[in-house]
Amino acid sequence: MPLRTSRRTNPGTARRARSRAVAGCAAVAVALAAPLVTAGPAAAAPKAPVVDFNGDGFADLATTAPEATVSGSALAGYVAVVYGSSAGADTAHPQIVSRALPWVPGEPSSDRFGASVAARDLDGDGYTDLVVAAYSGSGTILWGSASGLSSATEVGGHLSHLAGGDFNGDGKDDLALGNNGLLQVRLGPFTRDGASAGTTVFPENDKRETWDVIAGDMNGDGKDDLVTTHGFEERSYDTLWWPGTATGVDTAHSRSTGSASVGGLVADVNGDGYGDYVGQRVDAVSEMRMYEAGNVRVVYGGPNGPSTRTTSITQNTAGVPGVSEAGYRNSDDSDYGDQFGATLAAGDVTGDGYPDIAVGVPGEDIGSVRDAGSVVLLKGGPSGLTGTGAQAFDQSATGVPGVSEAGDQFGGAVALLDVNANGRADLAVAAPTEDGTYKNSGAVWLFRGSKAGLTTNNITSFGPSTLKAPEKGALLGSEFAK
């Protein structure tokens, strides 16, 4: 059946109908997967590395289940890895990594292993490694090898809000992390005991918490810059850009991108050689985010980093399926907004050389089903990111396994990566609060990329039971490696 447009009956709010354009098929994609292209006089923006833990040339999908019970310990958490292959995602041979494995440091406890993850080749051996943060306690580096993730090292300090990049342009992968008022960059290469080549600690600000860290080259100098989002208590603060230099991130010369945002990524959506920051714009009062309709804001890069050229895209933008709908507080606080842009990922789905942007809309109502969720694909091109040719999918769309149910939050996490190495990014969409045998077990769908965009042919979908992993309350799909 065709994808259905959501409707709410908020008092005094006029609704206008707009048909949803659904096309194509899909397969999972992670934000690290798509090459950036060069156009015009600017230097080429660096290519985003493929997440490939076993070095076979196929992108691998790592997703988290931070609230799973492991070895009898509630909220212990695990990371599920589905390896890529010529046939796509290989769900028959997954790898489930938790502290219960003998080669992973520590013991299962209620620290939510998998609270955040980042993937980069930290030791420079040609295999992608996975950094796993826990809600409390130390982080862990899972080292890649020809057989996949096979050894691990505990990392000192509490890791949170992780992002990998090359901030000094030396060809070695670095790691950025934020935790409340703390922000630092650890330079690569890393040794197998977890030691970095150097650490840059930013001036601490106990009145400005760091919400997210994002890496990407916005000024085209061959060094990744750092973009950070911030707030404190109920307030949202401006998003900041910190330039990369030959010695790492410049901690003294940050600049505002012009508004407050959460999450996001850097990708060269118009192919001019400068990375562009794409994030969800939020209001000044951060505690109201779940009631917002959502607004994806693009800040285009240039030779001096973030430029004054910006674009805002909502579900009311021409070509974007759906209707932009805010929620409102009622007696049980259950009528949330669409939250268009709550999750984002970049990858070249069509193979035309321009990164496309997957937009999670986890609060989308499907018919009368509240907060069932959907995902929208926005196409990149020489004019930048627009609504032209946009596609939308939810669990009620023809060809998509499952059914839209209240509170599924389909689109709660998204990733773009080329799991079958055919030159087109595939889309991974998660519904962390999807019910399986148990409530909130979570599930993931893999849509294949094609020349025309995403397609619903041969979608792969799986929950914890498919992977033979702990299921009860696992929240599988809470995050994808980035």
| 303-355 pLDDT per residue, tens | 999 999 999 999 999 999 999 999 887 666 567 899 999 999 999 999 999 99
Outline where 354-463 has alpha helix (H).
none
pLDDT in tens, 348-373: 999 999 999 999 999 999 999 999 99
pLDDT in tens, 260-290: 999 999 999 999 999 999 999 998 876 778 8
pLDDT attached to residue 401:
96
Q: Taking 60 as the threshold, does the pLDDT of residue 412 lie above it?
A: yes
**Strand order across the 391-393 sheet:** 343-347, 356-361, 374-378, 391-393
Give whole-number Cα distances, 411 to 138, 151, 360, 428, in Å: 29, 32, 4, 9
Q: Taking 90 as the threshold, does the pLDDT of residue 395 lie above it?
A: yes
Stated length of the chain: 482
Where residue 187 falls among pLDDT bands split at 50, 70, 90?
A: very high
User: 415 phi and psi, to 5 degrees?
Assistant: -150, 150
Look at residue 83 and give its three-state secondary structure.
strand
pLDDT in tens, 205-255: 877 889 999 999 999 999 999 999 999 888 899 999 999 999 999 999 999
Task: Report the 10 Å Cβ neighbour count for 259.
Answer: 18
The string over 203-215, giving b where at least 16 C-beta atoms fall within 10 Å of a residue's C-beta and e elsewhere, is: eeeeebbbbbbbb
% residues pLDDT > 70 (the chain): 89
CB 372 within 8 A of CB 408: yes
Provide the CA 2 distance to its chain's centre, in angstroms. Answer: 27
Average pLDDT over residues 435-442: 95
Average pLDDT over residues 1-28: 34
pLDDT attached to residue 1:
31
Q: Using only C-alpha atoms, what is the Rg of the chain?
A: 20
pLDDT attached to residue 159:
81
User: 286 phi and psi, to 5 degrees?
Assistant: -70, -25
Outline where 31-160 has alpha helix (H).
none
Where residue 379 falls among pLDDT bands split at 50, 70, 90?
A: very high
pLDDT attached to residue 158:
74
Compute the distance between CA of residue 204 and CA of residue 249 in angstroms, rounded to an integer.
15
Q: Using omega within 30 degrees of 0 as the cis cutoff, is the peptide bond preceding 432 cis?
A: no
pLDDT attached to residue 14:
33
pLDDT attached to residue 19:
33
Residues with Cβ within 8 Å of residue 60, at least 6 apart in sequence: 51, 52, 53, 54, 81, 82, 83, 84, 128, 148, 417, 419
